[in-house]
Each structure stands twice: as structure tokens, then as C-alpha cells.
Structure 1
């Protein structure tokens, strides 16, 4: 992954907003962009390869499921990551699976 790739858990698996968002905006220079940025989000079923797709398209570094370890929840809550080499400046949002077995929603 590119060195300047940055990911951050915006909302925990318990639904709590991470108040350290300012650190992410400072690290990525998002705060200097004004309104000149794009946001892309992906939603879908657990183990639907959402993280893999975002990592391939935007060169983010979201944690991905290892199929050899079995299918299980990888993403909890909502994560955001800075897209690399994309204009306009792009934030990718990786959302927890919509049918998470771990939450009893099979």
C-alpha cells in the first residue's frame, strides 16, 4: 500500500462516533480541502468483498477477510480511508456487513 494511505474507524461496532476525527482530517489534509472532495461508500452483505473492492479501486488499506481462516466479520462499524492518487481528493467509507452473523442478523 502507498505510504500516505490512512484509515480510521469513524463509528465503532457499538455505534459510537470516534471523537478523534480531527486527527484524521489533519493527517490527510482533508481540513484544507474545503468542499473540494468526494465521498464514496460501499454497503452490502458480510463477506461480500466490500473491503477488497475499496482497496483495489482506491488503494486504501482496509482489513480484509482471510478465507483460509473461515468466513467471519472483518469490518465493524464504519471505517473511512483516504483514496490514493485520485482527484478530486476522495474519502472511501467501508461499512459493516448488512447481515452480520455476529449481530444475530442471519
Structure 2
């Protein structure tokens, strides 16, 4: 990027180098382990096993995300597990159902 004086086109600033990064990739589809309810523990649990790391958040409904890999006290039902990139929340994985 340079700037030029309009009254003297030979007066041009020193160039500034600017880099635009590549588009970030969406996280891989999550994998998870499931703990089913029992008579003693009437709620279930989903634990994300991949992708893992500080750069991810996880959801079981596609709307509410959390940094924790564990979703506890779940009632019976089908959950759509997704991961998203915390540096760009629009980068969301495909859902694991």
C-alpha cells in the first residue's frame, strides 16, 4: 500500500506491506463418547473426544456453545454435536448426531 501526493504524482510514500490470511477451516466433525442414563443416574452425558483444544467451543443444539467438552444432566433425546473455531465463530463443523 502506498500513498501519493495528488499535486505532485512523483511524491510517493514508502510502501507498507499488508498480509491477508487464508480463510480459516471449519473444525473437523466432532467425535464423542456417551454415558447413557441408568436407574441410579437418570440423566445422560456427552463428552467430546475430538477435536480438542483451547481454540474450540462445543454445542449440542447448534446455538449455545461452551468451552467445556462435557455436557451433563441430559434428558433422553437426539443431540446434534458441533464444534466451532473460537477465533472465527462462523467456522462451524458439520454436526454429529
* TM-score of the pair, normalised by structure 2: 0.30
> Higher Cα Rg: structure 1 or 2?
2
- Bigger share in strand: 2
* TM-score of the pair, normalised by structure 1: 0.29
- Bigger share in helix: 1
| Larger RCO (CA within 8 A; separation ≥ 6) | 1
